[in-house]
Chains A and B, each alone.
Chain A
Amino acid sequence: MSIFVDENTKVIYQGLTGSQGSYYGRLNAEYGTQVVAGTHPKKAGSDVDGVPVYANVADAVAATGATASCIFIPAPGVRGAVMEAAEGGVEFIVAITEGVPAHDEAYFYNDLKRNFPNVQLLGPNCPGIISPGKCNIGITAGHIAKAGGPVGIVSRSGTLTYQALYELKQKDIGVTTCVGIGGDPVPGTSFIDCLEAFEADPDTKAVMMIGEIGGSAEEEAAEYIKNHMTKPVSSYIAGVTAPPGKKMGHAGAIVSGGKGTAAAKMEALEDAGVRVGHNPTEAGELMAEIVASL
């Protein structure tokens, strides 16, 4: 099994007619993802590589029965696109776009929680989600992941997500689902949402969690792991040597006011029984040990 998406997930691509949307939409379809529709307010009736384009998400849902949407809309339009997807009736929204204003993120996060509590948003500023061999929504290169299990991956960073998938594939370890939650200040899906789903998924036997400096999401995840997880977890936190007050690329990756340091996060995770590696390779090796002992 897998979490959030599988071979039956039908996906709408908002922005399928754009350069990024058409490129990754095609790659996702080639991977085997059910890419059933695109949307564009002025291009209804046309198609992209044979995928029909509708005026909006509601029309696309009505015509295709899609339950997920992937957003490749430029940052200024993301707030509108997220709400259009929720109002249009999809249950899972993946927002790939980076550079979305923090106030927009805070707004649609709370709007969704209140008015669309059954909708799960992933992102923005994330690589997407892949259930290897079944469904790949977003910009992850599908072939770097080995299908099957027993490991679930959740990560705040894009390239480190790929690194993690690759480390495991090199060791012939399969992955049920790999979720990139993104590096922004208000991610729609949190570490805890993913840990909870992995804990409930019978095919996931262990979880690899990749965090980075900034905020307190890793500490909150550690608390959750301590109190609720029965499955073993390995982890890696990027940014051990990051200087305070400097944003390290991601909008959320900043050590400010002495908070959000890698050391504090690693300590909290170790305290929760998580095996913490000091670099991605070490985290992969720790996971290999965990898998061997399952």
Chain B
Amino acid sequence: MDLFEHQGKEFFARYGMPVSPGEAVFTVDEAVAAAERLGTPVMVKAQVHTGGRGKAGGVKFAADIDAVREHSGNIFGLDINGHIVKRIWIEKASDIAEEYYASFTLDRSAKKHLGMLSKEGGVEIETVAEENPDAIAKIWIDPVDGLSEAACREWVAASKLPDAAVEGTVDILQKLYTAYTDGDADLVEINPLILTPQGDVHVLDAKVTLDGNSEFRHEDYGQYDGTQPRDEREEAAHAKGLQYVGLDGTVGVIANGAGLAMSTVDVVNQVGGAAANFLDIGGGANADVMAGALEVINNDPAVKAIFINIFGGITRGEEVANGILEAMQRVDIDSPIVIRLDGTNADEGRAILAPNLTNKLMMEETMLDAARKAVELAGGT
């Protein structure tokens, strides 16, 4: 789950990190009122789940209230990499002497936590990594040991931050690591972490991704779920508990298992079509789940044909076949359906489907043939 910048800052503040006071607002009037309460100058910052806000004109300095009105008016509704700005964070402006970068994430290859610290902040860390890799000090942390103060000091020393920034940075990094582990984050990133002319180290931006699998031990996760960027289709699928990712094509895909679903999307593309979605209905393909999946796909106006790709493992072919027929009675499907059913008791399942086959419900023997048929029906080979 990705957090907005302001949610990330609130998350950091709970772990004792220094962030600026601010308010999240949804209208220009609210923006003005917030700026009046905070006192100008303020920063007017678009809240979207994507990078490049500054370049797109989504982050502005406002010296007075008139500027707040003007900038927030321009930023609301702005399209930043396909994300429309609906919420703005008004924050007390900070004086900046220097900008740094700090983050923790899991290094899947090393199977340890990776901390990165750089005195070259304020720009994309990927750019720094490419152009000046020596400017990034890295530390690999064994989760069993955690991050000791001594190790943290050694790491900060390696980053060659100026002396004035060392104490504040050591303190923030230890708190950031606690937020990362106790908060079950996949990523915590501060860019920039700043040194003020007064000598304070301060968090000026926050990028936080939380691990949805940890929701059971974090009551606060619920509030972030509603602010995830999902299109209408994804929202409907999410409400039904389906694993769905919206894509741009015309062939609706339903498969059991994440790997097979991904593979189905690939094969549709390989035979010259384009998948409208990725949808994994999981291990059990019963009528309820199948009906829900068909409903979600049927509501996507781009879909011209549906490809149901099921490999029965523990789930038996006849259950799948009955599930599909029952679901079709419950949901009025507009597009033709092509089924490929294989695996456990596939013959029994196919026998159940056979008398029900029409020009709206077709069956093919193999995954490739079924993909070709679906693409042909969608009119796109």
- Interface membership of B142, Cβ < 8 A: yes
For window 116-135 of chain B, which residues contact chain A by CB distance below 8 Å?
A: 126
Q: A158-B259, A162-B313 are in contact. Are A185 and B143 (CB under 8 A)?
A: no
Nearest chain B residue, comparing its CB with the CB of A241: B269
A212-B262 in contact (CB<8A): yes
- Interface membership of A63, Cβ < 8 A: no
B265-A241 in contact (CB<8A): yes
Q: Of A24, A109, A248, which contacts B258 at CB under 8 A? A: A248
A157-B108 in contact (CB<8A): no
- Interface membership of A215, Cβ < 8 A: yes
B214-A210 in contact (CB<8A): no
B266-A212 in contact (CB<8A): no
Q: How far is the CB of B80 from chain A (nearest CB, A)?
A: 14
**Beta-carbon contacts of A155-166 to B below 8 Å, as 1s and 0s?**
111111111001
B313-A139 in contact (CB<8A): yes
A238-B259 in contact (CB<8A): yes
Q: A110-B111, A141-B343, A185-B108 are in contact. Are A281 and B366 (CB under 8 A)?
A: yes
B106-A249 in contact (CB<8A): no
Residues of the B chain whose Cβ atoms lie less than 8 Å from the Cβ of A281: 366-368
Q: How far is the CB of A200 from chain B (nearest CB, A)?
A: 23
B126-A257 in contact (CB<8A): yes
Residues of the B chain whose Cβ atoms lie less than 8 Å from the Cβ of A236: 263
B260-A143 in contact (CB<8A): no
A: contact size bracket: 35 or more
**Beta-carbon contacts of A124-152 to B below 8 Å, as 1s and 0s?**
00010000000000011101100000000
- Alpha-carbon gap, A251 to B256, bound state (A): 16
- Interface membership of A242, Cβ < 8 A: yes
Q: A102-B106, A216-B108, A243-B247 are in contact. Are A139 and B314 (CB under 8 A)?
A: yes
- Do most interface residues of chain B lie in helix, strand or loop, or is the interface mixed? mixed
B283-A139 in contact (CB<8A): yes
- Alpha-carbon gap, A250 to B186, bound state (A): 14
Q: A110-B111, A139-B313 are in contact. Are A241 and B266 (CB under 8 A)?
A: yes
- Interface membership of B280, Cβ < 8 A: yes
B257-A102 in contact (CB<8A): no
- Interface membership of A232, Cβ < 8 A: no
A249-B270 in contact (CB<8A): no
A280-B263 in contact (CB<8A): yes
User: Which among A240, A242, A279 has the highest number of chain B CB atoms within 10 Å?
Assistant: A279
A102-B314 in contact (CB<8A): no
- Alpha-carbon gap, A265 to B111, bound state (A): 19
Nearest chain B residue, comparing its CB with the CB of A156: B259
Residues of the A chain whose Cβ atoms lie less than 8 Å from the Cβ of B235: none
Q: A76-B216, A103-B181, A220-B109 are in contact. Are A159 and B259 (CB under 8 A)?
A: yes
Binding site for A on B (CB under 8 A): 106, 108-109, 111-113, 126, 142-144, 181, 184, 186, 211, 213-214, 216-217, 243, 245, 247, 255-263, 265-267, 269-270, 275, 278, 280, 283, 311-314, 342-344, 366-368
